[in-house]
Structure 1
């Protein structure tokens, strides 16, 4: 049986409580069952992210793969649907799926992520290229961003009042205007939902391959925020001309992605406002709140 990394087990139980403990205890047996069913053999040490483990495996007659098993959570439900819709276009390929167990057999690709690329322009353009590759018609049944964001006007308004309106009024109003104007009418495009450096692998059959999608239906410009609120962009906020540098990066991403620059800016701004209020409620580090506050104002 596989050995579950201690830090992953500890973090899962700390976050999920008793249900997390039971899932961790069942995980070695579950992985063994899945490998038998899918005729796989382990091929390397167990790796993990925040909510799941990844086991390198091999199956005769197929390229190297990984077995991914995630903690059962609503945010992970539509990941295999996104992979299936892309069919390997701009993302790793899906070979098998067990939705009840939140398990997938996925393509294994080269080592490293886009986060290892130091050149700012190259990395941001690569994110845009991946976004463009992923912009396909969404399959039926995925959550629609128009429905999700319809609730944000009240959420943002109440949260701002709860924290004694920490953002300037014009910053808050810009976000609410975007939700009223852009939220209800969105295209039927498949949206990754969490596109950033660490969720793009260095590939072989394609230069860059996305992982860990949320699987939404809506405006690809929605992903602009996770591109911009990243360590790659954060250092720009300490430069002498922070706003100009951030906006140049925004332009670079949107040009490569084929996203309307104004829509990208506006969706990033509204998500920055929502994120910084959420961060105050949920104990984000002060530096992250400060960075997100700055982005919310720069992006108006």
Structure 2
């Protein structure tokens, strides 16, 4: 029987409560059932992300894969749909799927992530090139980012009025303008939705492959902000925050062949949303205390530095 990592058990119960505990109790049996159905054998230690476990497996002589089982959540529904649309082009291949159980059998990549690369320009360039390759026509049925525009604006206005923050009105107005001007009119292009450096893995078939997509339809420039958020900790000590952030976005936009101004505007919106998210929920690397305060204030400074005219 598969052993579920204790850290994953605790984080799932903390987040999901009794429902999470019930799902975790059944998870080892579910994994065994899937291994048998898809004729796989365990081939390494179980690892985990935020909402799912990953079991390295062998499907046959020398053929490695991974079994991924996620806690049932709306954010995971369209992950296999994105993999099907890409067909291995810039992302890991999907071998099998069980949507009812939020389970997939996927191509195995290496454990090395793009986040481990020290050259910041290379990180942004690799992410940009992948972004361009993943920008294929979106299949029907995917959630459209344009449909979230009204909710984004409502949340921005509510947070600005209810949460303590130090962002000037011009920064908040710029974020709202982006939602109003770029939000409703977006192409029907498949967007990863969470294309940060930890979701890009070294691989054998291609140098780098994307994992863990949200599977949205929308503006490919949206993921420029996702990448910048993932690079935020590397910018903390920058003497020129605007220059350092601009460098990430410039390299990404050029590699992705995207309009630089659209990338900047989406990134500014992401930074404002991240600042408010920190006030409401904390961050993965800091849930409270001085560390959270410092990171939230940094997100506010980053949002200000990305605002046109500053």
Q: CA offsets per residue over residues 203-257 of structure 1, 9 Å max, x none?
A: 1211110000000000011111121112x34333422222112112110011001
The corresponding residue for 2:112 is 112
TM-score between the two structures when normalised by the length of structure 2: 0.93
**What do the CA deviations read for 1:71-124 (whole angstroms, capped 9, x no partner)?**
001111110000111000100000000000000000002231111111111111
Distance in 2 between the 1:3 and 1:165 partners? 43
Please, what TM-score do these two structures have when normalized by structure 1?
A: 0.96
What's the counterpart of residue 287 of structure 2?
A: none
Gaps of 5+ in 2: 284-291
Distance across 2 between alignment mates of 1:93 and 1:139: 17
Q: 1:165 to 1:15 in 2, by over 3 A?
A: closer
* Gapped regions of structure 1 (runs ≥ 5): none
2:130 corresponding residue in structure 1: 130
What does residue 258 of structure 2 align with?
259
Aligned length in residues: 299
Greater shift in the superposed pair: 38-47 or 54-63:
54-63
- Offset, 1:165: 5.7
Q: Does 1:290 align with 2:297?
A: yes
Aligned to 2:233: 234
SS at match of 1:293: helix
Q: Which residue of 2 aligns with 1:170?
A: 170
| Greater CA drift, 112-121 or 185-194 | 112-121
Query: Alpha carbons of 1:289 and 1:204: their partners in 2 closer, same or farther (altered >3 Å)?
Result: same
Give the distance between the partners of 1:95 and 1:186, measured in 2 at CA. Answer: 31
User: What corresponds to 1:8 in structure 2?
Assistant: 8
1:211 aligns with 2:218: no
Q: What is the alpha-carbon root mean square deviation over aligned residues?
A: 1.3
